[in-house]
Amino acid sequence: MANCSRVKRIKSMGSNPNNSFEVVNPPADSVSSLSFSSKGNYLVATSWDNQVKCWEVLQSGENVEKASISHDQPVLCSTWKDDGATVFSGGCDKQVKMWSLMSGDQTVTVGMHDAPIKEVAWIPELNVLVSGSWDKMLRYWDTRQSNPVHTQQLPDRCYALDIQHPLMVVGTANQNLIVYNLQHPQNEFKRITSLLDHQARCVAAFPDKQGFLVGSIAGMVGVHHLDDSQHSKNFTFRCHREGNKIYSVNSLNFHPVHHTFASAGSDGAFNFWDKDSKRNLKAMLRCSQPITCSTFNNDGSIFAYAVCYDWSKGAENHNPSTAKTYIFLHRPQEADVKRRPRPGTGGKK
């Protein structure tokens, strides 16, 4: 991405330099995942204080905490069922919990793993939930029964997962990238050698299902196409770096309308990109702490991101008096997220 590695790095200006709306009553510890309902502006956050919290976000940007539940140990992931009212979460207690917002704080354990659960995703086309764990397993759950309907062995611990049916991409330890066709989930569709030299931390499937993004701990993003004939379109670019300082890419999210994408990292920055024109669309002001996770709402009008300590510098650099947890809601301008013509195409995209 010719001009992406030259994004001007703007120095930190506090916890909320972009004047985003602040979510009320955030978790007491670092946020591990954020997810919006597909049916409305309901935001769920999971965190290391064992909590799963839900807020309703109003058009004004104001927000109201609606409900919360607890796990027995830190919670690492969340997703919504396509009914827009049911939340799934998983974490270090090795449980997949299901929570209907209509039921208050009542939960049902729908699945178990033998190690912490890092990723969960609902697959409406199959009416099942998939969970990925550090026990090196993918498990598929029909919420009406206690045993998984399918179990898939992974080459290593699951670190990242994303779905655009029928495409599912899984990133594991030791830089494995495994692609599945969910019409035949019992077989690997393709195992890909990452374009990146360091461990993958997040993945995002293309909205057109033709490939995926992968972000690494070394401040790099790789753009992979599945079709071998499109191999020449694969590339990598630097993003979350500042001089010789290298920061992890913690989150990648495609815009649901324009199909551009956002990256967020441990440098406290989030940026908007167009992979097709290889452009940086907008570099936002850096926050004073890392951004651990982020997500768009269903129409792309709100970008939610969590600002908190990510433990990448260890416990010795954690200062509880200054490391407050924030969740912010940013309303991107259309020009910041809309695709732009490729250079030299005469306005054609």
Share of the chain above pLDDT 70, in %: 93
Q: Judging by beta carbons within 10 Å of its beta carbon (0-12, 13-18, 19+), is residue 349 exposed, middle or buried?
A: exposed
Residue 34 has pLDDT above 50, yes or no: yes
Confidence of residue 239 (pLDDT cuts 50, 70, 90): very high
Pairing relation of β-strands 75-80 and 86-91? antiparallel
Average pLDDT over residues 242-255: 93
Share of the chain above pLDDT 90, in %: 80
- Range with lowest mean pLDDT among 83-92, 146-155, 317-326: 317-326
Residue 255 has pLDDT above 60, yes or no: yes
Pairing relation of β-strands 51-57 and 63-70? antiparallel
**Mean pLDDT score across all residues of the chain:** 91
- Which pLDDT belongs to residue 96? 97
Residue 318 has pLDDT above 80, yes or no: no
- Which pLDDT belongs to residue 314? 73
- Which pLDDT belongs to residue 100? 93
Average pLDDT over residues 149-166: 97
Q: Report how far residue 126's alpha carbon sits from residue 176's, in angstroms, rounded to the nearest whole number.
A: 25
Confidence of residue 319 (pLDDT cuts 50, 70, 90): confident
- Which pLDDT belongs to residue 10? 43
Residue 263 has pLDDT above 90, yes or no: yes
Confidence of residue 196 (pLDDT cuts 50, 70, 90): confident
Residue 110, SS3 per DSSP: strand
- Which pLDDT belongs to residue 346? 53
Residue 182 has pLDDT above 80, yes or no: yes
Average pLDDT over residues 216-224: 94
Q: What are the residues whose beta carbons fall under 8 Å from the beta carbon of 71, sequence distance 6 or more?
A: 50, 51, 52, 89, 91, 92, 93, 95, 97
Residue type, 230: Q
Bridge partners of residue 214, in order along the sequence: 203, 222
Q: What are the residues whose beta carbons fall under 8 Å from the beta carbon of 67, sequence distance 6 or more?
A: 53, 54, 101, 104, 105
- Which pLDDT belongs to residue 309? 85
Residue 287 has pLDDT above 90, yes or no: yes
- Which pLDDT belongs to residue 9? 41
Average pLDDT over residues 193-212: 93
- Residue 197 phi, psi (nearest 5): -90, -10
Contact present, 189 and 179 (Cβ < 8 Å): yes
Residue 234, SS3 per DSSP: coil
Tens of pLDDT, residues 41-95: 999 999 999 999 999 999 888 899 999 999 999 999 999 999 999 999 999 999 9
Site of tokens 């499937």: 205
Q: What are the residues whose beta carbons fall under 8 Å from the beta carbon of 2, sequence distance 6 or more?
A: 278
| DSSP states of 73-92 | S-EEEEEE-TTSSEEEEEET
